[in-house]
Structure 1
Amino acid sequence: MGSRSVEVEAARRSFLAGAERPPDPGVVGPAVLASWQRSLRHDVDPDRIGARFLGHHHDVPRVVACADEVLDAFTTAHPDAGCSFVLLDPAGVVRARRDADRALAGLLDALLLVPGYGYGERTVGTTAASIALHDQADTAISGVEHFHSQLTCLAEAAAVVTDPRTGGTAGALVVVCHHADRTALQLPLARMLADRVTERAAGEPHRATRAILDRFAAEHAGGGAWVLATDGDYVVTNGPARRLPAGDQRVLSDLLLASLVLADFTTKHVDLPSGHCAEVGVRPVHLDGASVGCVLTGAPTGEGTGRPPESVRRQGSHVAPTARRDYARDLVVTRQEHAQARIRANRELLSPYLRARQEVVASVRQGRNHLLIGEPGVGKRTLLVEQFRAAHPSGRVVLVDGERGDAPDLTGVADGRPHLLLLRGMNLLTPVAARRLDEVLRPLVALPVPPLVVGCVDTPAVDATRPYGLLLRHFHEITRVPALRYRADEIGDIALAVLRRLSGRRSLRLSLQVVRVLEGYAWPGNISELEDVLRYVVARKPVGEIQARDLPQLCFQGRSRKMSMLEAAQCDAVIQALYECGGNRYKAAAMLGIARSSLYRKIDAFGISYIA
C-alpha cells in the first residue's frame, strides 16, 4: 500500500512538472488523471487554497434541508464515527457539514471546507466530489490523488445525490476522514447516506400534507365547531363547516387563504353573509421551521361560552330561582361584543387597503373573477399581478387594453396552465368593443381550467349604464382599491420600493423628513404621481440620502381643506376615540385597532388639536 502511494506521489510531481509522458493507468486512475488535466487547464494553484466565500442561499433547496435532517440523525446516533460528512451542490458550493471528530473539524476549517465556500474543481482541483459531479458516478480518492498539496492528508468518498422530482443531480455527499484512517467502508457509507437524502426528499411533499392533516384532525378532535385547513392550493373542511351555507363557507375559506398568504395568524370576528357572527382563529402549521399551511377553527358567537340559548334560558322562568341570579351577565357580554365590533369597524375604516388586498388574494387563490375599481394610478394592476405571480409562478398574464379595444390573444389558454386575463381600462370600452369582448369571455367558462378574468375600472364607482356594464355578469366580486391619500401609513414603504426600482444599483435612501413630506401631500395622481416625483429626484441626485430640498415644489403644497367623506369619517373616529380615552393615545390606538404610529400620523394629517 505504501509503495503505491509513493508511485502516485511520483506521478503527481511529474505531472505538475510538465512531463510529456502521461502517468501509467495502473498507477493513476483515468478519472483522477482527467480531473488533474482539467484542474491544470483551470489554472488551479496546487499549493494555495483558492476557495472563496460565496454566501449562504436564502432559498434553501429541499435536498439541502433533507440532508441536514439525515446527517443530524446519523451523527447523533454515531457520535464516535471519526469522520465528517459534507454536502456540495452541483456548482461545488459547500451547503452542509457535520463532524464526528473535533480534531478533523479543525483541520477542515483550516482548509476552508466549510458551508458557504466554493469548493469546486475550478477552485481547489481534484476532489472526490468534483469527480463524482463531473462523471455522475460514485468516487473515492485518497491522499496524493488530490491535485492540491494541502488536501493530500484527506481520504474522501463521494456519492451522487439524485433529485427525485427531476431525476437530475442535486449534489454530492462526501464522507471525509484523515488519510491514515481511511477504510473500505467510506464509499458504501456515502452511498447509504445519499440514498437516505433522496428518499427523504421524495417524501418531503407528503410530509407537509401529513403535518397539515394531523393538525386538522387534532383540532377536530378537540371540539372545534368549524375546522378548515389549507396548504395554499386545497382547502379541507370538517362536517359542521360543510353544513354551512355556501356564502359562509366561501367567506371562511377566503379568510383562511388570505391569512396564509399574508401571514396574518390572529383571532378575528367575522360577519357571515347568513347574518350570523363568528369568532375564528387562524394558526400556522410549521414543518422544519417553515410555515407549510394553516388551520382555521371557529364557532358562532355565543357558542362554547357556557351560556345557553335565550329560549332555553327562559324555560321555567315562572319558577322561583333557587340561587342568586346575575341579571347583569348578559349586559356585560353585550358590552364586550359591542367594543370588539367597534374595534373591527374602526380598523376597516382606517385601513381600507388591507381589506382590499385580502379580497384580491382570496379571489386569486379560489379562481373567482374579480372587478377592481378605483381612481387611476392606485395600483390595481400591480396588486393583482403581484398576487397572481405569488400564487402561480408559472402562470401567464394576458393584458387587454380597453382603450384600444383589441380582441385578447387566448392561444394556449386551454393548455392547463394558470392564465390571468386582465382587462385594463374597462371604462374606456366602446359599445362595439364591449360586445366583442363579451363574445370572447362567454365560451371560457366551458374550459376544464378556465382563466381568471379580472377587470380594472378607473373610476371610484361602477356605472352599469356605460358600455362595460355588459361585462359585469362575468365578475363574481367587486372591490374598491383606495386612493394613495387614504394610505398614509404605507406611503413610506411604497416610496422606498419605487425608489429601489428606479435607482437600480445606486445607493439612495429616504430621510425621515422626506417621508413626512410625502405623507402630508394629497397625491391627486396616486402612485403614478409618486413615481414621477421619485423619477425627478433620481435624475438629479445620483447617490446619498434624499432630503426635503431635493423634492419638487409641488410636494410642499398643503392638503386641500375640504376633506372627502372617508377622511371626515376617519377624523371623527379618531376624535371620538381620543375623547373617550381622555387624550390617552395608547388606549385610543387600541380602541381603533391601529398602531400608535398610525394614530400619530392621522392626528397630524387631520390637524387634530390636543385633547386632554
Structure 2
Amino acid sequence: MGTDGDQRELLTTALAEFLTEGALPEQRGVPNHVAASWRRSVSRGVQPDVVENDYYSELDVDSRLVRCARPEIEHLAEQISAIPACVALTDDRARILGRSDTGPGFGRVLDHVYFAQGFGYAENTVGTNGVGTVLEFGESVHIVGAEHFVELLHPFACAGAPVRDPFTGRIEGVLDISCQAQHSHPMLHTLVRTAASRIERNLLLDRDRVPQALFDAYSRVDARTRGAVLAVGPRMVTANTAMQTLLDGPDQEVLREHARFLMHGRAAVDDRIDLPSGARVRMRGSTVRVGGDVAGLVCVVSVLDEIDARPAAPQVRAPRTGLAPSSSPAWLAAAQTVEGALRDGSPVVVLGEPGSGRRRLLCELFSQVGGRAVPVPADRIEAGPAEAVTRLRGDSGDATGCAVLPVLCDLDRLSPETVAALHRELQEPGRPVVAATCSGTVPEPLLGLFRVSAAVPALRHRGGDVAALAASLLGDLTAHRDVRLSRDAERLLTRHRWPGNVAQLRDALADALRRRPVGVIEAADLPASCQSTPRSTLRPVDEVERDAIVAAIREAGGNRKAAAAALGLARSTLYRKIRQYGIDC
C-alpha cells in the first residue's frame, strides 16, 4: 500500500514551495523528521534534480558487521520476495556495503540512481533518504515517494533502521529496505527494525567469541606451564598467580602496554625487556585471532638472570630540552635502533601512527649525534619531487659545517606518480642520505632507499609516559612560566586513549593553557574530549554532542540530574550517552 494521490501531490507541492520560497509552508502532511531533513539538505547544498553521490572503492565488504548481518539480510529478502525490492546494508558513513535484490529488474532500476555497492547515500549528498536520514536522525525512518528531497528518488520508498554496537550504543551501520513507492507498506518499517535488532544480537554473540578465544588460549598455556602467564586483550587482562606475584604494579603495567603494541604487528613474540624497576624479563607468546579480529596476546614471562640474559642495550637518554624520559620498551627499542642508524649514517624509516612522535624522534636523536634534521612535508614533495630533491641536495650541510639530515615525512601519503618520480630523482648520483616517516606501508619503489626501520608505539601503548610527556610539552608551551598539572588533571590525561597521539596531547594542553595560563591546571581546564574514552572513533556530530554533555555536567558541578535538565534530556538518555561516550566526570 503506497501513498494516495492526494498525499503525493501535497508533498510534491510542499517541497516545491519550500525550494522556491525558502520556508516550509504551514500545511499538514510533512512529517517533522522529513521537514528537518529537507532543511538540512538545502543548507548543505544538495541539488534536488540530480543524484550526486560519491563512489568508494576501498570498503571492507567482509567486515564483522557484514558477517553478522548476512544471514538476517538473506532472511529479510525472503520475507519481501513477493514485491520488487532490495535489502541493503551500509556502514556508519552511509556507504553501501552490500545489496540483495528480490529480482534482477528492480536491481537495474536501483543502479540508475546509484543505489549500489560502493556508493554513498549520506544525506549531505543525496538529501532525504532511508539511509542518510537514519544516521542524522538517530532512529529508524520510513521515507516514501515525494518525502525524498531529490526528485529522481520520488518513485521509491525506503525503510531504514540503525544497527548499533550492543556495547557502546554507537551506530555501526544502517539496514534498509527499498522498493517502488506503490509497494510501500508500514510493515516494511517493522520488518527492517526487527532485522536490525537481530543483527545487533549477532554482533553481541560475535563479540563474545573474541574474549572467549583469548581466555581459552590463556587456559591452555596456563595448564602447560608452572611459570607466569599473562593474557592481554584490547580491554581485558588475565594473569595467573605466578604472574601477579612476579613483578610490581608499574612493571606489570609496562608489560601490558607493550603486549597491546605487539599484538597488532606480530604473530609470535620473543622479547627481552628492561622494566622501570631495573628487572629484565623475557616475554614469549603468540597472538590470538578470531577471523579478522585480534583477540589479544598470550605470553609466558620470566625474569632473566645474569647467565641467560643478553647484554642490556644502553637506554636512550633524552637531550636536556628534548625528548621526555620513557618507560616504554617499544619506544626505547625504537629509539635505540634509530640512534644506531643515525650514528652509522644508515638511511632509516620510522613507522608509527600520525602524531606519535616519529619526526621529533629523528630530529632530537640526530641533534645528539651533532647534526640538524630538516623535515620535508609530503605536500612539498607532492608539489614537485625534482625541486624537493634539489633542495635536499642543497641541505647536505649548513654554513657552520653541521651535517643536515633530510626527513621525508609521511611517505604513505604520496601518490604513485610522485613515488615513482621521487625514486628516479633519488637514484641519480649525489643523492643525499635521508630518513623518513610513514604511518602505513612504505611504497615498494622507495624501500630500497633505506637500510633500517623502526616502529614507535602509539601513545595509548605508553600510558606510563603520559605524565612526563605532558610536563615536557608544558615546558615547551609556557616558556618557563609556573604551570603544572593537578593530580586529577594528570589522572585524566593518563587514562585517555589519545587517538591523535602526542600531537593531540599537545593540543589539549594548549587548549587548557588558554583557560589557565599560569598556576595549576585542573581537570575542568582540559578539553571535554579528555573526559571521554569511547570504545570506537566518534563522528564529528558525536564529538559535538559529547562536548556539550561534558560541559553541562561540569557546569552543574557533577550533578547529572541538573545536567540532564539543562540539556533537555531524560536522565535515562543522559546516562546512556555517558556510557556510550565513556564520559568520566
TM-score, normalisation: structure 2: 0.49
Q: Using CA pairs under 8 Å that are at least 6 residues apart, name the structure with larger relative contact order, 1 or 2.
A: 2
